[in-house]
Amino acid sequence: MKVAEMLRDGAILVPLDAPDLQWALTNTLRAVPAVSDESAMKIAEDLLEGVSGEIHRVHPRVAVALVESEAVGDICAAIGVAPTGFSGDEAEPDTGVSISGEGSTGASESGAEALLILVTSGRFVSMRDRMLPTLKRFFREEERVAPLLNAGSADAVRRVSGLMDLELHQSLLVEDVVEPVQYRVYPDTPYSEVTDLMIRRDLDALPVVGKNYEFLGIITTGDAMKEVLLQARVEERVGGGSSASPKEPTAREIMTRSVMCISEEQSLMEAASIMVNRDVEQLPVIREGEMVGFLTRGEVLRRIFPTTSLNQEERT
């Protein structure tokens, strides 16, 4: 479903009169068909308390509210643009949104902020997992944000390049699900340090990178166990009669070089098929030769299941 298909007449508010986030939510919700003034106020209060929905920043000056309400039938949307912003200086830790902003964006000199509200009668979790990544990708481009924040009318919002035609049920990509890599080792890292790091941080795998962080290989718990057994056999053969210790191997010597990798741009379904066909628990994700994270079976299943549920809800 496209954004334009979710918006009803009068569902774009420019300018949005909102001295704070609660009023921004309330006034924008009032533009959603079937949501009464009283309901709008109650839903806004619940959102700020983390009930019946979530609020997310998809850009430092663009917030998205995902709302679950029995008042609507199909998924509905409303957009508000507040020329002077609605965040203020206060933080609302329970909303899932950084109210104080995240630094200068260059998108608008006036401090304007935009709010997109999506309301569904189904599970908002399904909507979040399917739609939020698409919105994050869209608003990552500053040339799309600036026209929205500077819009002086509803027609100007509708003319924002690509916004009305944005398909919110696009397929999830690997980049939407990837778990960022937190630890890396270098080819010359001693085996004992590698193993110690894996044990202390409970890691199933560690990437081995070069001086420019290029991906060279991977060390799994299986690789580490093989080396443990190999060294144990060597010590048994040597026995107690020799004082010489075998040379400690490095990450380069024990890593697996031939590794199936995927890119951030691949669809999640395609990556899931690779994992099933190859019978692997996780896959390294590569961007321009550098490993940026892992895609795990558990996270893929968590994302695919709500997506399937949402598709079933739409067909009923």
Q: List beta partners, residue 194.
A: none
User: In a 3-state reduction of DSSP, which class is residue 219?
Assistant: strand
Residue limits of CATH 3.10.580.10 in the chain: 179-236+245-311
| Per-residue burial over 26-41, b = 16 or more CB atoms within 10 Å of its CB, e = otherwise | bbbbbbbeebeeebbb
Residue pLDDT, tens place only, 16-50: 988 899 999 999 999 998 889 999 999 999 999 98
Residues of the chain with pLDDT under 70: 88-110, 122-127, 169-170, 238-246, 306-316
- The pLDDT of residue 16 is 94
Return the amino acid letter for 231: Q
pTM over 0.85, yes/no: no
Residue 109 and residue 72 in contact, taking contact as beta carbons nearer than 8 Å: no
Q: Is the peptide bond before 15 cis (omega within 30 degrees of 0)?
A: yes
Distance CA 178, CA 172 (A): 11
- The pLDDT of residue 132 is 85
Return the amino acid letter for 128: R
- The pLDDT of residue 215 is 93
Structure tokens that stand for 13 in this block:
């508010």
Distance CA 27, CA 242 (A): 81
Give 78's Cβ-side CA count (13 Å radius). 26
Could you identify the residue written with the tokens 């999640």?
268
CATH superfamily of 3-170: Mannitol-specific EII; Chain A (3.40.930.10)
CATH of domain 179-236+245-311: 3.10.580.10
